[in-house]
Amino acid sequence: MNFRKENVMQWKRAGALCMLILLCVLVFAVASESKSLVHRDVWLKNEQGERITPLENFTDPYSPRKTCGTCHPYSTITSGFHFQQGFDEMSDTFNPSKPWILSPGMYGKW
Amino acid sequence: MSAYDWAGAFGKLNPAKKIKTPACGWCHPGGGAMEHPRKWDGTPDYSMNLVQAERRSIEPLDGDFYSHITPDKRSHFKESGVLEGDCFICHLQDYKFGPRNKQINMKNYRWAATVGAGLGKVKGAIFTFEDPAAKPGTKDYMTGTWNFSTRPTVTYNWNDRNKFTRQGKLRGSLVSKRVYTKSCLLCHKGPDTKKVGWLQSPKFDAHTKGGLNCTDCHNLVGKTEKERLEHNIAKGWHPLGSVRDDLDGTDMKTCAGCHLEGQYAPTRSDMPKEVKNPTKKHEEKFADVMFHIDMISCANCHSTRQPTMSGYILDMSAGKQVWYTSATVEAVTWAGDFGKPAPAPWKPWVTLYDARNGLGEQYIPVVPKVAQWFGEKMPNMEIRPIMLKYVRKAFGTLKNSSLVKVRDVNGKAAKRPTVGTDEHIKAMIFELTAMGFKNVVFVSDKVYELRDGRVVSYEDHFTAHPHNFPVHHNIVPIELEKTLGRKGTPDGCRDCHAENAEFFTKMLIRNAGRFLMQDYPIPREPNAEPQMYDWGFRKVPVPDELATKKE
């Protein structure tokens, strides 16, 4: 009888240990997943690339180029048409038959 | 326009006084020409920004640093700053678009992104309106004071723990990788209500109701992560052909792609798990007439209820932009009227269009812009518009200048100017010629000119033709039972193949001035015509089996 009781206790302990390990794995997975979905906290920067804090440069507007561009390829991102609106293809000789049209976009259109 | 003026000149907003004149910079996310100068050959110079380039520009006649609005007629990028590409317009859910544009109106370009992100308040302005209530066309509309000596300052909301940490870092949790529909609508809502009467609402749009965002169909273009990083957004097809036609359809999701070809795949938990394939339903309802599916675009039968007023007639004959709505042909009183709910949802017009997407010519729903204006005919027969301020001056000298009695969108009787007779056309051409313009013509349903003192006209299908804006959105939820042909053969056929069916007979105004003077508010021939005339039909084709049943 005692031997059987001891066996059951062992199985119960093993089961509890497995559950604990599984729980830890789940918590770790969720935490990792959550971390990868949230942008890190960042310092705002002004046009000169200096930090804006409650003690420094605190009356300056922030610069998206210097702030976001610290980590992200600002020039590549702003090469998109929404930003360029034809500016990147602009030229005085864009349309020889209609010289007042300087680009294929809204900027440089007459 | 130079970059300085393109960013913020002439922008004014005062809804209480019904004033809304957008500056170009309002709907531009920054970067590009808002940030960089050009080289001597007109190509972009990304090595510096406009502040730096302005410092070097010493030529008084350098058009890139000219301004129509500043006291010295020079740009002031040094004081105003530039509009850098503003990531948060798309990647921040609670972006403050109105306050951001107000900074642009004040020529506080450098400060616009800070206010748009809701990070703080700005004290001071480069430009302050003298009278915020002065309307366009009045003497004080754009007058104000310029401040080039005292730099505006920011007071950040450092104590807002939702925005900033204790040390003063911006909370990363504010940044949203996903771009929500409301971000797109910041710029696109106004123009799209004006162009096609569109509203992104679950009541009027099945895809919105299903939980889709704009970016679910308008993805970033590119096969690789690197290409997609260039932030080109997939674009549909447009018959106007005026901006980046080479991008039409690139990586664009289509009706057939998702609903017929199995390309739909949810990318988020809040998207529908699957989408319906209508093939079986179409085959049941349209047995023997399935050729319609090739001839007619999906939107033609499924976008039948445009919810807002939208713009239809644009009468510039008197030197002003006088708009009338698509829903009710009523006079618009200010820019906010285009987005007003229509008294009842209305069906768009229809046109034939080959999108060059492999589907050939199809009937597609559109909302046309019917315009009339004065221009100069060039030697190559193209017509260059005459600036409205000169047309307005010429119109002011007409002895019997024509005002027509119309209704405005508030239901009130109103008078609006127009040019709608040969006598007026002749008088205006004389007046504009005396002002120094050459080969003056009037563009309406045709091109009108003077020959031997008489008004004559000729057809010009490129110039004297409505501009059609396609209806791609506002797919009506199927349960509303407003889809054309929903009853199947034969009753459903009569949605289009009946004597009074709008598909064929919806009237399209040809000559706006004559319509306003002779027929308003009911469009009639010859100043308007059933839209089917453009497709070669003179009467509605009604097959015999449909004609036998009496209505």
* Residue B375 contacts A, CB cutoff 8 Å: no
Structure-token match 């409205």, residue found: B388
The confidence score (pLDDT) of residue B60 equals 67
The confidence score (pLDDT) of residue A101 equals 78
Q: What residues of A are in contact with residue B33 (Cβ under 8 Å)?
A: 84-85, 87, 90, 107
A32, A55: one domain: no
The confidence score (pLDDT) of residue A23 equals 67
Q: Give chain B's mean pLDDT.
A: 93
Distance CA B346, CA A19 (A): 62
Does pLDDT of B299 surpass 80? yes
Number of domains making up chain A: 3
* Residue B263 contacts A, CB cutoff 8 Å: no
Q: Which of A99, A23, A4, A76 lies closest to B31, judged by CA?
A: A76
Q: Give B401's pLDDT tier (boundaries 50, 70, 90).
A: low
Q: Which of B17, B179, B187, B21 lies closest to B97, judged by CA?
A: B187
The confidence score (pLDDT) of residue A35 equals 45
DSSP per residue, B344-408: EEE--EEEEEE-SSSS-EEEEEEEEEEEEEEEEE-TTS-EEEPPHHHHHHHHHT-TT--EEEEEB
The domain ranges of chain B are 3-136
A2, A33: one domain: yes
Nearest CB to A80: which of B88, B156, B230? B230
Length of chain A: 110
For chain B positions 458-477, those within 8 Å of chain A (CB to CB) are none
pLDDT per position as a tens digit, A47-100: 999 999 999 999 999 999 999 999 999 999 999 999 998 888 888 788 887 777
Does pLDDT of B550 surpass 60? no
Length of chain B: 551
The confidence score (pLDDT) of residue A2 equals 56
* Residue B150 contacts A, CB cutoff 8 Å: no
A31, A1: one domain: yes
The confidence score (pLDDT) of residue A34 equals 45
Range of the domain at A15: 1-38
ipTM: 0.87
CB A85 within 8 A of CB A107: yes
Cα dist from B3 to B8, B39, B106, B210, B229, whole Å: 9, 14, 15, 41, 26
> What's the predicted TM-score (pTM) here?
0.88
Q: Give B360's pLDDT tier (boundaries 50, 70, 90).
A: confident
A32, A4: one domain: yes
pLDDT per position as a tens digit, B135-167: 887 889 999 999 999 999 999 999 999 999 999
CB B493 within 8 A of CB B546: yes
Q: What residues of B are in contact with residue A96 (Cβ under 8 Å)?
A: none
User: Per the CB < 8 Å rule, is B247 touching A75?
Assistant: no
The confidence score (pLDDT) of residue B241 equals 62
A20, A48: one domain: no
Does pLDDT of A24 surpass 70? no
The confidence score (pLDDT) of residue B91 equals 97
Q: Give B504's pLDDT tier (boundaries 50, 70, 90).
A: very high
**Residue range B221-234: average pLDDT?**
92
The confidence score (pLDDT) of residue B464 equals 86
The confidence score (pLDDT) of residue A110 equals 55
List the helix and strand counts (H, then E) for chain A. Answer: 4, 2
A14, A29: one domain: yes
pLDDT per position as a tens digit, B231-245: 999 988 877 766 677
Q: What residues of B are in contact with residue A63 (Cβ under 8 Å)?
A: 84, 113
Q: What SS3 state is found at B365?
A: strand
A36-45, B69-78, B319-328, B403-412: the lowest-pLDDT one: A36-45
Angle at which helix B422-434 crosses helix B388-396, to 10 degrees, equals 110
Between A and B, how many residue pairs show a Cβ–Cβ distance under 8 A? 144
Handedness of CA B11, B310, B214, B263 (dihedral sign): negative
User: Per the CB < 8 Å rule, is A75 touching B81?
Assistant: no
User: Per the CB < 8 Å rule, is B154 touching A58?
Assistant: yes
Q: What SS3 state is found at B551?
A: coil
User: Per the CB < 8 Å rule, is B32 touching A107?
Assistant: yes
**Residue range B412-429: average pLDDT?**
95
Does pLDDT of A36 surpass 50? yes
